[in-house]
A and B are shown apart, each in its own frame.
Chain A
Amino acid sequence: MSDTTFARLDVLKTYKLYVGGKFPRSESGRVYEVTDSKGEWLANAPLGTRKDARDAVVAARAAVKGWAGTTAYNRGQVLYRVAEMLQGRREQFAAEVALSEGVGPKKAAALVDAAIDRWVWYAGWTDKVAQIAGGANPVAGPYFNLSTPEPTGVVGIVAPQAGYGHSLLGLVSVIAPAIATGNTVVVAAAADAPLPALSLGEVLATSDVPGGVVNILSGRTADIAPTLASHQDVNAVDLTGAIAADGPGAAQALEAAAADTLKRVVRPELDPFAQDWTNAPGTDRLLSFLETKTVWHPMGI
């Protein structure tokens, strides 16, 4: 026996993309360095490419039928389960948020709590959204005429890249409303702060959210966002994180690409850096990715 004691080596985490319920490396095999707010190295994140984005859209499309077909009540339960899983990993997320956004531990913990609460809030909306977005229409004939909201399909999301609480609370605030109504999403995580997003993938994988409903890609926004905006099999885009002034990742260019294929578009705030994600979200996002189905039914049958 040697009397030398060896210090235990930590197991470093290799962050992965989250696509179709699995954790693949980027198709390119490349990674990029993620640093904290002071420029210190934190981890390597996979450099998602256009091909990864396309694969993610295929996975998201395949998941639409099952997820949109789930009852609203069941969807709410599944989303609530995500909040439960988030709660269990509170410390991990607080640490990642603190490093990513450069806030103190107390503020970071408060942001994580707010993110969990927001997830629960949207979970509650799943079976109530039909009351505010649909209803019975008065018609001049012996018919019931009912409008109900239906999910639009695959939503491409450029996750928030700026504003207080963007890395987790902001991310939850854009993902949860889209999937609560039955859409599936492909998320381009914030390029500078992707770690909470990639960890959120692990939370989703261990809750009951079916694979493909949420797909999370890290990488350059200028690569992933234009692919989503121009992809013909994406039905809507949320451009919240499109903060570049110009170039392929800028909101204007993305909006133009989205217009080519008649997508629903959610525009970013006029000043994304001033956005405070702790503010109450309202129902705007929830109602942004819905289509209205109207049925006529004869009375008396």
Chain B
Amino acid sequence: MSTVAANAPGVAGSGLQDVAASEASLRRFLHGLPGVDQVGLEARAAALGTRSIKTTAKAYAIDLAISMIDLTTLEGADTVGKVRALCAKGRTPDPTDPTTPRVAAICVYPDMVATAKDALKGTDIQVASVATAFPAGRAALPVKLADTADAVAAGADEIDMVIDRGAFLSGRYFDVYNEIVAVKEACKRPDGSYAHLKVIFETGELQTYDNVRRVSWLAMLAGADFIKTSTGKVAVNATPPVTLLMLEAVRDFRAATGVQIGVKPAGGIKTTKDAMKYLVMVNETLGDDWLSPHWFRFGASSLLNDLLMQRQKLATGRYSGPDYVTVD
């Protein structure tokens, strides 16, 4: 089971191929990662949040941010109609301005995948599905795998899985690792291709920055295509320091293995200003390579409306209001 990622071209030959060979070696590796300088990390994240982005740069950032959004609806009360409406919004975020870019993906629960897929026919917008007993992740492995396989069979292009935080926090890293590897296998389609796998850490429950660094490396070693901060269902969601830490992890992982991994902060990013802070962080930490929807996403729902209002402001010179964007 622990062979998929370790056999990947980048990981082999980087000195990391044996890391996940056993429980002990994985633990040794994760605990050998340097500790996080909390004060330095938070200061750096705060400093990167002070840049002033105006005029043409702002217009570029707004369009880029819109194209990076995983427009999300993950409510118990989701209906087919609501998912269709959200898909329509993803296709044409601002009906009054056809130059507005489309969002990157629509993120829904597994049972809504077919609906979303159908509503997005003819576009390149991806359908992302949460899986593995989202958001708690408290289910037996076979149930999680069935959940994943079901979403993939329904046509999901991307799978957002949650890790077993209980196992991680009690030090059973190998279990977490094996679970990610197993879910990755469940993402395999009949034609041999894989649905994109995003691994959600729920950093708000991981207690320390050291844990965030460890879990980032663990997930990347296990074959995650994307690492994602949060489910959006707990009190603390994506924060700039945590995201910065994960950006540094993917940077170091590519330096070590040559494999590029994407990052998705999710939850609590509500304003254009927030989004631009994250984009500055990506640019300063990772550079242009990650400034595309292939490698960086925002998990958000209300963010889109604020971006659209700011976009209208730039176009018309008037401040816009919530009456001029859809309520969803």
Residues of A within 8 A of B (CB): 54, 57, 61, 227, 230-234, 257, 260-261
Q: Which residue of A lies closest to B320 (CB)?
A: A232
B98 CB, min distance to chain A CBs, angstroms: 20
Interface residue ranges of B291-328 to A (CB < 8 Å): 312, 317-324
27 cross-chain CB contacts under 8 A: A54-B319, A57-B321, A61-B321, A61-B322, A227-B319, A230-B317, A230-B318, A230-B319, A231-B318, A231-B319, A231-B321, A232-B312, A232-B318, A232-B319, A232-B320, A232-B321, A232-B323, A232-B324, A233-B319, A233-B320, A233-B321, A233-B322, A233-B323, A234-B321, A257-B318, A260-B318, A261-B318
**Chain A residue contacts of B320, Cβ below 8 A:** 232-233
New contact pairs (10) apart from A233-B319, A233-B320, A233-B323, CB-CB < 8 Å: A231-B319, A232-B312, A232-B320, A232-B321, A232-B323, A232-B324, A233-B321, A257-B318, A260-B318, A261-B318
Complex Cα gap A210–B320 (Å):
24
Complex Cα gap A54–B317 (Å):
13
Q: Which residue of A lies closest to B321 (CB)?
A: A233
Complex Cα gap A261–B324 (Å):
11
Q: Which residue of B lies closest to A234 (CB)?
A: B321
A60 CB, min distance to chain B CBs, angstroms: 11
Complex Cα gap A234–B322 (Å):
11
Q: Which residue of B lies closest to A230 (CB)?
A: B318
**Chain A residue contacts of B319, Cβ below 8 A:** 54, 57, 227, 230-233
Interface size class of B (residues with CB under 8 A): under 10
Most buried by B among A57, A61, A260, A261: A261
**Chain B residue contacts of A61, Cβ below 8 A:** 321-322
**Chain A residue contacts of B322, Cβ below 8 A:** 61, 233
**Chain A residue contacts of B321, Cβ below 8 A:** 57, 61, 231-234
Most buried by A among B319, B320, B322, B323: B319
Q: Which residue of B lies closest to A231 (CB)?
A: B319
**Chain B residue contacts of A257, Cβ below 8 A:** 318
Interface residue ranges of B75-101 to A (CB < 8 Å): none
**Chain A residue contacts of B324, Cβ below 8 A:** 232
A263 CB, min distance to chain B CBs, angstroms: 12
**Chain B residue contacts of A232, Cβ below 8 A:** 312, 318-321, 323-324
**Chain A residue contacts of B318, Cβ below 8 A:** 230-232, 257, 260-261
B54 CB, min distance to chain A CBs, angstroms: 12
B305 CB, min distance to chain A CBs, angstroms: 12
Complex Cα gap A230–B312 (Å):
13
Complex Cα gap A230–B317 (Å):
9
A143 CB, min distance to chain B CBs, angstroms: 30
**In the complex, the 5 A-B pairs of residues with the closest C-beta atoms, listed nearest first:** A233-B321, A230-B318, A232-B321, A231-B319, A232-B320
Q: Mark B4-46, 1 if CB is under 8 A from A, else 0.
A: 0000000000000000000000000000000000000000000
**Chain A residue contacts of B317, Cβ below 8 A:** 230
Interface residue ranges of B202-220 to A (CB < 8 Å): none
